[in-house]
Amino acid sequence: MGELTGALGIEWFALLWQLAAFLLLLFVLRKYAFGPVTRILDERANRIRSSIETAERVQREMQETEQRSRQLLEDSRRQGQQIVQQAQQAADRIQVTAQEQAKIQANEIVARSQVDIDRAKNDAMEDLRHQVADLAIAAASRVVRRELDPKTHVQLINDVLAETGRVPGADSPNGGRPVA
C-alpha cells in the first residue's frame, strides 16, 4: 500500500491542497456563476410567465369588453327601435283619440244645435199658434159678431185648428192643446 501511494505521489498536503483549490473554485462558481445565472434564469422564466399571463388576461378582458360593447350596441339599437315603435304607437293612439274626441265634439255640437234648432222651432211654432189663435179669435169674433161663452169659444177654436191641419208644434209636450 505504501509503495503504491508513494508511487502515485499521494500526500496529505497535496490532497488537502487540491481539495482546497477545488472548494475555492466551487465557492467562486457558486457565488459568481451558478447562483446568479440560475437566479436570472428563474427571474426570466417568471417574467415570461407573468408576461404571458398578463397578455392572456388582457386579451380575455379585451374580448369581454368587445362582447360587452357589442351587447351594448345591440341593446341600444333594440331600445331605439322600441322607443321609435312606442312613439309611433303613442302617436297613433293620440291620433285616434284626437279623432274620436273631435268626432264626439262634433256630434255634441251637432246634437246641441239640433236641440237649439228644435227649441227655436218649437218656440216659433208656439208663437205662431198663439198668433194664429189670436188671429182666429179676432177673425171669428168679427165674423160671428157675437160673444160666445168662453167654453164654446175654445171649443170652436180647437175645431178650427183641427180643421186647418196638424202643425209640427203638436208634438210638443202640451200635446198641441191650446194654451188657455
Partner 1 sequence: MHIWNIALSVVRAEEEAGAEESTFLGTPFHRPGLAPEELFSIGPIHVTNSMFTTLLVVLFVSLLAIWLTRRMQLIPSGKQNFLEVIVEGLLGLVESAAGHRVGRIILPLIGTLFVYIVAANWFALLPGVGTILYHGEHDVPLLRAPNSDYNMTFAMALLTIVIVQVAGFAAHGFGGHLKEYRNPFNIIDEFARLLSLSVRLFANVFAGEVLVGVMLALSFLALEYFLFFAFAVPAMFLALEVFFGAIQALVFALLSLIYISLAVGGHGEGHDVEHDASVAHADDQAAPLTQESAARS
What residue ranges bind partner 1 (CB under 8 A)?
Answer: 3-4, 6-11, 13-19, 21-26, 28-30, 32-38, 40-41, 43-44, 47
Closest to partner 1 by CB, 3 vs 163, is 3
Closest to partner 1 by CB, 34 vs 177, is 34
Locate all alpha helices (DSSP H) within 145-180, ordered by sequence. 150-164
Say if residues 129 and 167 touch (Cβ distance below 8 Å): yes
DSSP letter assigned to residue 173: T
CB of 29 to partner 1, least distance (A): 5
Closest to partner 1 by CB, 32 vs 116, is 32
What residue type is 85 in one-letter code?
A: Q
The Cα 38–Cα 23 span in angstroms is 20
CB of 5 to partner 1, least distance (A): 9
Closest to partner 1 by CB, 40 vs 110, is 40
What is the per-residue DSSP string for 75-128? Answer: HHHHHHHHHHHHHHHHHHHHHHHHHHHHHHHHHHHHHHHHHHHHHHHHHHHHHH
CB of 27 to partner 1, least distance (A): 9
CB of 56 to partner 1, least distance (A): 21
Q: What torsion, rounded to 10 degrees, do the Cα atoms 119, 120, 121, 123 define?
A: 80
CB of 59 to partner 1, least distance (A): 23
Closest to partner 1 by CB, 29 vs 106, is 29
| H or E segment and range at residue 137 | helix 35-144
Closest to partner 1 by CB, 34 vs 100, is 34
> Which residue shows C-alpha cell 210638443?
172
Terminal Cα-to-Cα distance of the chain (whole angstroms): 176
CB of 15 to partner 1, least distance (A): 5
